[in-house]
Amino acid sequence: MARALINVPPKAKRGELIEIKTLISHNMETGFRPDNTGKPVPRDIITEFVCKYNGEEIFRAELFPAIAANPFLTFFTIATESGTLNFEWTGDNGFSASESVNITVE
Amino acid sequence: MREDHIAPATRRRFLIDTAALAGAAGLDLSLAIRPASATPASMRAAIRRVVGEASVKKGRLKIDLPPLIENGNAVPLTVAAESPMTADNYVKAIHVFTEKNPQPNVISVQLGPLAGRATFATRIRLADSQKVIAIAEMNDGSFWSDEIEVIVTLAACLEGV
């Protein structure tokens, strides 16, 4: 299981704009680099990231080999209700990881 | 002593011969040593696939990328679109393209009114000094773009393992 770091403010006021930062450990092998025999190393990247807030999708990203290793994504949402933010990464060779964070909205 | 005289002569001849050969095969050689890379044409094709026949206007979008990059392996990129992000006026998607990476696509994000602000940040790889283009798709079907020229001193992607 890949290690993921999520940064979400634990508490927010209703209607407040909050910043969400995510980081996951992954090589993001591009498929363009040659190994020492000259053949390219097969591609192995995360291709998709989805963030849901209480089950509703707020942000989705399609990633390509041009994303640096250990993909880092920052984005925003509006704090509407207390609940959970769910993060999901999927990629090549059956890669899949997910993480959840609780948020309290006052 | 004699060898000293002969050596420069042969080396000079060798260089002249090589230069002549390279000149004759000039086009082929320059193609052979170029690494795989997207061309401005393949970038335009990738943009066409996203945009279709719609026209792309400049503005309402801003790319934030350092103009001089020492290491192309992890370059901080921020893209911000101007939009109130309300239920009837929001940014649907933002796509980022490069001119000279092996593949033109970098990232495509999908947003909605729930995002609150049409801004995202990530870290990207850049294989060469080149142009980076971002295109935002609004919910009314219009497209807006911004582009930036960057200089990369250490390229990403292409070095061996």
Inter-chain CB proximity A56 and B114 less than 8 Å: yes
- In A, which residues are within 8 Å of B161 by CB distance? 33-36, 41
First and final CA of chain A: distance in angstroms?
A: 34
Question: What pLDDT is attached to residue B24?
Answer: 53
The DSSP string of B54-85 is --EEE-SEEEE--SEEEETTSEEEEEEE----
- Chain A residues inside the 8 Å CB shell of B116: 17-18, 76-78
- pLDDT recorded at residue A21: 97
User: Can you give the CATH number for the domain in which A70 is found?
Assistant: 2.60.40.10
Across the interface, whether the CB atoms of A68 and B125 are under 8 A apart is answered yes
Domain layout of chain B by residue ranges: 2-32, 40-154
Q: Which residue of B has its CA nearest to A78?
A: B116
Residue B122, pLDDT above cutoff 50: yes
A67-92: b (≥16 Cβ within 10 Å) or e: bbbbbbbbbbbbbbeeeebbbebebe
By Cβ distance, the residue of A30, A62, A72 closest to B123 is A72
Q: What pLDDT score was predicted for residue A2? A: 77
How far apart, in whole angstroms, are the C-alpha atoms of residue B57 and residue B93? Answer: 15
| Average pLDDT value over all residues in chain A | 94
Give the model's confidence band at B34: pLDDT under 50 very low, under 70 low, under 90 confident, else very high: very low
Question: Which residue in B has a C-alpha nearest to residue A53's C-alpha?
Answer: B114
pLDDT higher at B11 or A63: A63
The separation between CA A9 and the C-alpha centre of its own chain, rounded to angstroms, equals 17
Domain B40-154: give its CATH code: 2.60.40.2470
pLDDT band at B52 (very low <50, low <70, confident <90, very high): confident
For chain B, the C-alpha Rg in angstroms (whole number) is 23
3-state DSSP: chain B helix, strand, coil percent, rounded to 5? 30, 40, 35
Q: Does A17 touch chain B (CB under 8 A)?
A: yes
For residue B42, the tally of other CB atoms under 10 A from its CB is 16
Closest CA to B60 of B124, B132, B137: B137
Please check whether residue A95 touches B, CB under 8 A: no
Distance between CA atoms of A89 and A99, rounded to whole angstroms? 9
Q: Chain B contact for A50, CB < 8 A?
A: no
Which of B111, B122, B161 is the closest to A67 by Cβ?
A: B122
Nearest to A5 by CA among A70, A91, A53: A70
Task: Show residues of chain B in contact with A55, CB under 8 Å.
Answer: none
User: Is B1's pLDDT higher than 50?
Assistant: no
pTM, to two decimals = 0.81
The confidence score (pLDDT) of residue B27 equals: 42
pLDDT number for residue A96: 95
CB count in 10 Å sphere of residue A102: 10
Kind of pairing between the strands at B143-154 and B105-110: unpaired
**Tell me, what's the pLDDT at B37?**
66
Kindly tell me if the per-residue pLDDT of B31 is higher than 50. no
Q: Which two tokens stand for residue B159?
A: 């070095």
Q: How many domains does chain A have?
A: 1
pLDDT at B6 over 60: no
Q: How confident is the model at residue B30 (pLDDT cuts 50, 70, 90)?
A: very low
Residue A81 pLDDT exceeds 50: yes
Domain that holds residue A62: 4-105
ipTM value > 0.95: no
Quick check: A95 pLDDT over 50? yes
Res B88: pLDDT: 92
Tell me the two tokens of residue A53: 């807030």
With beta carbons under 8 A apart, name residues in chain A contacting B125.
30, 65-68
